[in-house]
Amino acid sequence: MSTLPRDGLVAIVKRDCPTCVMAAPVFAELAANGGVTVFTQDDPSFPATVPARIDDSSLEVSHKLQIEIVPTLIRFESGREIGRTYGWDRRDWERLSGIAGLGRDLPEARPGCGAKNVEPGTIERLKIRFNETGLKSRRIAIGDEEDEHEAMFARGWSDGLPLVPPTEERVLRMLDGTSRDPQEVLGLVPPDLAPATVEKIAVNAVMAGCKPEYLPVVLAAVEAVLEEQFAMHGVLATTMFVGPVVVVNGPIRRRIGMNAKGNALGQGNRANAAIGRALQLVIRNIGGGRPQEVDRATLGNPGKYTYCFAEDEEGSSWEPLSVERGIKPGQSAVTVFAGFGLQGIVDQKSRDPESLSRSFAGSLKAIHNVKSAPSCDALLVVCPEHHRTFKNAGWSKSRLYEELYRLCEIPGDELVTGAKGIAEGGPPSLAGKMVNKFRPGGIMIVRAGGDAGMFSGIIGGWSAGGPRSSLPVTKELRN
């Protein structure tokens, strides 16, 4: 690395910066009045106004000095930095240099430009080059003739689809999406009960195709599924269909471009798809939860690749799910729910809330089995056209909840074994009683979907709140 002077002024510049070009005459003034050592980031011949420049196209000096903006002017005394300024500000440059009247023909001030050493991709490469990554994850060597994508398949990291190779550069860039310590442990991921550090989650977020700005959502989702009441080990090991479903609320939805409208539960949106996939990869690669091993699902469901969407808060007259579950309005949060594939509710004729509620309830009572109650939790996704029916009638979300629970009361005589000619069913003691399909609090309602189509949906859950059940968990995001 080029040697920095023990005493005097140091300037870091680049030709591709209008402010540096404008200030070129000032460097000549500094050179003529005590001297200045100029390091140039992109063109060794710039600025021609000083007798010599030092080529810093390797950006080694700029990185060591932590330059963020050019031009930067720094004063050293006895090998120690005692002051710096950046951009062009005549008063600051005069103060630092001790020379009055600098750049008389220039404006009083002009902002600088971003330094090359902090450009995306470059800063990560410099940290790797100088062993400053701080990453603790084990490096995996890939042979020269080995295809990196096939190598990740062969090592069992993939969910069956191609992965983004988690290079050090990409992981460092992903970690820029959060201020949390990369070595912070969010919890132990079942079944192996391996510690989930922010860094290891970032590795899986890279493989899933996330952008750095998605990482706080992924971290919150991981924290949520690792809460004891979510029972992630049980969700993984059950032979039923379920996996984590992630519902996102708050400003983060719009900031990262999530889809809450048409096809919200389908393909085509990067944030929705990558966040849910990252959560599943964390369970697989950190916790060791793989199909036909601890994951014992009989059929599974396509949502076990990814199941994440945002609630359409702007189009709703109801409070968001996160607020309903205790998060302050305006705060970003995720709610995780152990759910399976979507069951559609097609009702194109109901024009009053009473009729539509009965339609909803009839569909809800079919989850798992029409003879099963209390059955499971359920997430009801109400489309805009159905929501409008309730809104126009002045129905709040709490009113709809009240009506659905009332309509989901079932005579026990219809639920006992053998009733309706179906062997599936409950004990004879249910006869003569009324039994609700859902436990108290077992239904959650969100609004999402496209503006056209009277098609809402039910995401059925795993169990009905027994000792080995999974309960929904809501977590506020931390940056």
* Per-residue pLDDT tens digits for 277-323: 999 999 999 999 999 999 999 999 999 999 999 999 999 999 999 99
* Residue 396 in this model has a pLDDT that exceeds 60: yes
Establish if 3 belongs to a structural domain: no
d(CA 32, CA 208): 56
Establish if 143 belongs to a structural domain: no
Q: Give the residue from 110, 14, 120, 121 showing the smallest Cα distance to 61.
A: 14
Establish if 1 belongs to a structural domain: no
Residue with tokens 């059929």: 299
* Residue 35 in this model has a pLDDT that exceeds 70: yes
Asked if residue 324 and residue 385 are part of one domain, the reply reads: yes
Asked if residue 454 and residue 328 are part of one domain, the reply reads: yes
Establish if 142 belongs to a structural domain: no
Residue 274: pLDDT band with limits 50, 70, 90: very high
Residue 462: pLDDT band with limits 50, 70, 90: confident
Asked if residue 416 and residue 375 are part of one domain, the reply reads: yes
**pLDDT at residue number 145:** 87
* Residue 217 in this model has a pLDDT that exceeds 70: yes
Asked if residue 59 and residue 168 are part of one domain, the reply reads: no
Asked if residue 288 and residue 156 are part of one domain, the reply reads: yes
Domain count, the chain: 2
* Residue 258 in this model has a pLDDT that exceeds 80: yes
**pLDDT at residue number 469:** 80
Asked if residue 178 and residue 104 are part of one domain, the reply reads: no
**pLDDT at residue number 324:** 97
Domain end: 64, 97, 119, which one?
119
Domain end: 97, 119, 141, which one?
119
Residue 144: pLDDT band with limits 50, 70, 90: confident
Asked if residue 154 and residue 113 are part of one domain, the reply reads: no
**pLDDT at residue number 351:** 95
Establish if 229 belongs to a structural domain: yes
Domain holding 384, by residue range, is 150-476
Which residues touch 314 (CB under 8 Å, ≥6 apart)?
A: none
Asked if residue 114 and residue 216 are part of one domain, the reply reads: no
**pLDDT at residue number 319:** 97
Specify whether the CB–CB gap between 272 and 306 falls below 8 A: yes
Residue 465: pLDDT band with limits 50, 70, 90: low
**pLDDT at residue number 143:** 85
Asked if residue 154 and residue 84 are part of one domain, the reply reads: no
Asked if residue 164 and residue 41 are part of one domain, the reply reads: no
Establish if 2 belongs to a structural domain: no
**pLDDT at residue number 464:** 54
Establish if 144 belongs to a structural domain: no
**pLDDT tens-place string over residues 346-385:** 999 999 999 999 999 999 999 999 999 988 899 999 999 9
What CATH number did the domain enclosing 112 receive? 3.40.30.10
The identity of residue 174, as a single letter, is M
Establish if 127 belongs to a structural domain: no
Asked if residue 243 and residue 286 are part of one domain, the reply reads: yes
Asked if residue 158 and residue 57 are part of one domain, the reply reads: no
User: Quick one: what percent of the chain has pLDDT higher than 90?
Assistant: 93
**pLDDT at residue number 374:** 87
